[in-house]
Structure formats: C-alpha cells, structure tokens
Amino acid sequence: MKEIKIMESSMREALAQIDALESLSPKDSGCLRLLTEEMFSLCGALLDVDALDYSVKREGKRYALRVSTETGVNEQAREQLLSLSSSGKNAANKGIKGLLGAVLEVMSIGYAPELCSPAWTCGMLTPDDGYAYQWTLSQYMELAPKENVKSEWDGMEKSIIANFADDVSIGVRSGKLEMTVTKTF
C-alpha cells in the first residue's frame, strides 16, 4: 500500500503527484488525471475553494483519490445564493454533476441527509470509518427508483466521473467534507 498526501493542494500539485506515480500506463495515468481534475472542478465550484487536501492511495491495482476540505458553506450563504434564482431552487442540480453537487452541498452545510430529497438519499450508507454521513454513487445506482436513475443518465453519459470511476463516496468526518473516487485497473 502506498499513499501520497498533500495538504492545501492546488489542482496542479495534485496532477503532478499523479504524473509521479510509477507502474501506471499512460492511459491509466490519464484516467486518474481526468478524475482528479473533475474532483477539483466540482468541489472548487460548489464550495468556492482553490485548494483542497488531496491524497492518492494505491492498494494493488486499486487507486483511491480523495479530496477533503473544512465544511465551509453555511445555511445563510446557501439561502442567499438560492434567493438569486427565480425559482428559489438550485437549477444546477441536474445530471450526475448536479447529483454529486447536491450531495456535497447538503453535507457541507451539515443538514441531516435523511431530511432531504429522497432521490439521492438512496445512496446513503450506514457510516463507517468514522464518517458522520456517507453516500456512494454505486449504492445510489443500485437502490434509487429506476425513473430517477434514468433521468440522471443523460448527464452520466457525459460525466468523466460516472464513466471512469468505479465508485464515488462522499462523506463528512470530523467537520471535513470528503469525496473519494476509486478506480481499479
């Protein structure tokens, strides 16, 4: 098992760590780069951060890419942002990016996920490894009503994370929001 950790990492620093990994083919390295870029873009846009704690962990042929940050979006900030929308709703929550964004948003402000939309709560797991809350894409795909999965599929077909990752896990642990993407080659 090998793990690389960088605190307060920029996307550029994280990508340099992917490039430094040994025993990866150019194709596999490119896949991990794309997943890392997507993670930084999604978290950066939603949480308005430029730097995230980043780690890459390898166990055999399985890689776990993790970004984490302090949960910084509070309910007041969220309501102010949503008040700018004519519908009062987060119109960006469409497709896979919207689904992941909704999960990140709810967990970042400390909502009890069970009180939120039943559509994405299908991905909730019994927390383990010290998580207060945990959600996974594979659990969502397995348990969500088929009409919900079908409506999200258009975005999933275009999503780098949905097409390249084996699984996505989002959780809150000790006041930190974490997103972990796993890929086995």
What mean pLDDT comes out for the span 68-89? 54
Residue 58 lies in a domain: yes
Distance (Å, whole) CA 126 – CA 81: 31
Residue 54 lies in a domain: yes
Model pLDDT for residues 138-154, shown as the tens digit of each residue? 777 777 777 766 666 55
Which are the contacts of 126, defined by CB distance < 8 A and separation ≥ 6?
134
- Predicted structure pTM score: 0.68
3-state secondary structure 36-75: HHHHHHHHHHHHCCCCEEEEEEEECCEEEEEEEEECCCCH
Residue 182 lies in a domain: no
Do residues 53 and 87 share a domain? no
Give the chain's domain count. Answer: 2
Model pLDDT for residues 84-105, shown as the tens digit of each residue? 444 455 444 556 667 777 777 7
Give SS3 for 23: coil
Distance (Å, whole) CA 104 – CA 53: 16
Do residues 89 and 160 share a domain? yes
Residue 121 lies in a domain: yes
Residue 29 lies in a domain: yes
Do residues 93 and 161 share a domain? yes
What mean pLDDT comes out for the span 159-179? 81
Q: Which residue has the tokens 């258009």?
A: 154
| CB-based contact 68:177 (threshold 8 Å) | yes
pLDDT of residue 47: 74
Residue 175 lies in a domain: no
Domain limits for position 31: 2-69
Residue 178 lies in a domain: no
